């Protein structure tokens, strides 16, 4: 009888310990280890400060009579956005490559992401570049509209950054100039995990 009582008490104590463990660990993590506060790499933007303007552009290869396409055509997906000249110099090509690889790295979640390159001039784009980044949406748009909308860091311009737009159409994140794709990947994975939309 004493052995059974003792065994029962140990089982009860074990159950209580298992139930209390998450609370104890969270207390230790918050008050002893102390969270660092910021865990994201990109700068979070308040979409109320940057409402999406009516952006309409002609898809690459479209004629003057073809309908214009707006960014809202891609609503429902996460948009990785970059802005640059049609000349797309080395830094532009690296961002395009990084965006493509970051999308592929999401595996089965990759279809939730749309790649968009907004082209700010009439410079002809190299055919090899179009082939290399096949699948990216390329739209020629008015650069003045973009400058009024997209925020930059000090001493940078909009063509230095990769921007994130959520599936509702909110501009919500900006990555720094010469961004580290491995750090972007972590932010992107967290966004996709946390979001039930897109």
What pLDDT is attached to residue 174?
98
**What span, in angstroms and rounded, lies between the C-alpha atoms of 92 and 89?**
5
**What span, in angstroms and rounded, lies between the C-alpha atoms of 70 and 59?**
10
**What span, in angstroms and rounded, lies between the C-alpha atoms of 84 and 86?**
7
List the beta strands (DSSP E) in the chain.
Answer: 43-44, 56-59, 69-70, 78-84, 113-119, 137-140, 162-165, 171-175
What pLDDT is attached to residue 25?
55
The verdict on domain 43-194 having CATH code 3.40.50.300 is no
Give me the average pLDDT of each 10-residue run along the chain (198 residues): 70 72 54 59 93 81 76 92 96 97 96 96 93 93 93 95 94 96 95 82
Domain spans, the chain: 1-35, 43-194
What pLDDT is attached to residue 102?
97
Helix (H, G, I), strand (E, B) or coil at 174: strand
What pLDDT is attached to residue 31?
46
Residue 85 contacts residue 157 (beta carbons within 8 Å): no
Residues present in the chain in total: 198
pTM of the model: 0.78
**What's the helix, strand, coil split of the chain in %, to 5?**
45, 20, 35
**What span, in angstroms and rounded, lies between the C-alpha atoms of 67 and 184?**
34
146 contact partners, CB below 8 Å, separation of at least 6: 55, 83, 118, 120, 158
């Amino acid at each position: 009888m004493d052995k059974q009582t003792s065994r029962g008490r140990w089982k009860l104590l074990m159950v209580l310990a298992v139930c209390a463990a998450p609370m104890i660990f969270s207390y230790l993590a918050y008050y002893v280890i102390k969270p660092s506060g910021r865990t994201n790499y990109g700068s979070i933007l308040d979409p109320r400060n940057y409402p999406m303007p009516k952006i309409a552009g002609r898809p690459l290869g479209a004629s003057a009579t073809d309908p214009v396409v707006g960014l809202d055509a891609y609503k429902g997906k996460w948009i990785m956005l970059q802005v640059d000249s049609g000349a797309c110099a080395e830094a532009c090509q690296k961002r395009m490559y990084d965006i493509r690889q970051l999308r592929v790295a999401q595996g089965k979640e990759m279809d939730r992401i749309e790649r968009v390159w907004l082209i700010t001039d009439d410079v002809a784009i190299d055919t090899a570049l179009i082939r290399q980044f096949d699948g990216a949406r390329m739209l020629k748009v008015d650069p003045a509209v973009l400058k009024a909308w997209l925020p930059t860091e000090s001493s940078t311009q909009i063509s230095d950054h990769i921007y994130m737009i959520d599936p509702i159409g909110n501009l919500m994140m900006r990555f720094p100039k010469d961004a580290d794709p491995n750090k972007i990947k972590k932010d992107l994975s967290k966004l996709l995990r946390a979001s039930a939309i897109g």
